[in-house]
Chains A and B, each alone.
Chain A
Amino acid sequence: MEIIKELIIGLFYIIVFPGLLFLVIYGGLSEWLDRKFYAQMQNRQGPPWYQPFADIIKLMSKQVIIPKAADKKMFKILPFIAIAAINTSIFMIPIFSNSALYGFRGDIIAVIYLLSIPTATLFLIGWSSTSPYATIGSMRVLTQLFAYEVPLLIAVLGPCILAGSWSIEDVAVFFTNNPWLMLVNIIGFLVAIVALQGKLERVPFDIPHAETEIVGGVFTEYSGRLYGFMRLALDMEMVVVAALINAVFLGGSFGYSGWIGLLLFVIKTEFVVFLLSVLKAAMARVKINQMVDFCWKWLAPFAILQILICIVARFMING
């Protein structure tokens, strides 16, 4: 009986909360908010709140066409690998309270690695589609991965150094206890926001699926259900990274749990989404070489500067 009970609880975690269902619903709502913010900034109305769900439902009911030359198994399985990786990473990030479901020492590194799996699947998706647009798209995905991943990782390490722990939970608890120290990380926070724009492939870094250049990029050959799952994966990824930024830079739930914790979580993650939308609305897409230049010439040095500041601050705290 004990085993069955544990199994049911485990399944509940995976499928309902904080797993699949929560991510899908919250991801859809976040996408809607993102689109609404973006539309308002562009002097448009924007979609109604159920639009992302309607899109997904519509895509699910459409026919899936797989190119003959594509690797069929890979083509079908890749969207689910992306979803699985994102779903796993949410277990290590605190959501409504300051404790994660399966937190452990060094989980921040694990989360970052898990979050680069969707990017890797994007590359494989493009490569296995074999169309010229998708191939160019996947080459761009890889080039971009090497540009933004390093600044992002370094930026996230800043708070960890300050808190003296490699566990996301501990970092969140640290900032809950010392909220003023969040200001030390302001550079790292901005670097992370810009790098995330590359991770989520949004303007100005939506180069891998720049529609006016390479049509749909890596997704060119995707259709129907599989495309729907891939879009879902990107929505979920946005929630997970927003939650990660919330926990690492914005002090988690400030020790609250329950409804207040939920409210704080929603406000802060949507604030991150809002920042991402502002960046998206205010810029043009850059070229891939300009993107790499920018990441290495500006983002990476600033991220390293942040680390130095954190080390100095750490010594000052410890006296």
Chain B
Amino acid sequence: MKNEEKIKQSLEKQFSDKIEVEARSKQKLWAKVDANISHDVIKYMFDELKFQYLATITGTEEGDNFEVLYHLQADEHSILCTLRAVLPIKKPDLKTITDIIPGAIWYERELVDMFGINVIGLPKGNRYPLPDGWPKDVHPLRKNLTQEELSKYPKEGK
């Protein structure tokens, strides 16, 4: 757990009380920050802590908040750090990380389509994964979207 502790300490030193870091098991770190500094944290991790790889981004809904989970990996010792960025559902603004790691683009588009998170600075392009005709305000992975809710919308070909 030595390497995990090292990363934990340097993260806590840099962001002091704004970040909660926990080394739960071997090679796995869990961190929690507010969405408005998540970009800075990821930038710091990539620039200073030798993180190189973004495995994916998971969106979840927890009470009144969205939680966006960045699964980041440092190739050295292969440590997987799950960085949790918390943002309110009422104002779901998130800064894009495509300027740090371009490979994030598809995962961020998924956040936009599936949760309605407003990713600021996302490069223009096709939607993913929903089709162009899909209504802009319906987000399939939101907990409040049930089958009954969906059936209110007119189906294609009906």
Please tell me whether chains A and B touch each other in their complex, using a CB distance cut-off of 8 A.
no
Which residues of chain A have a CB within 8 Å of any CB of chain B? none
Which residues of chain B have a CB within 8 Å of any CB of chain A? none
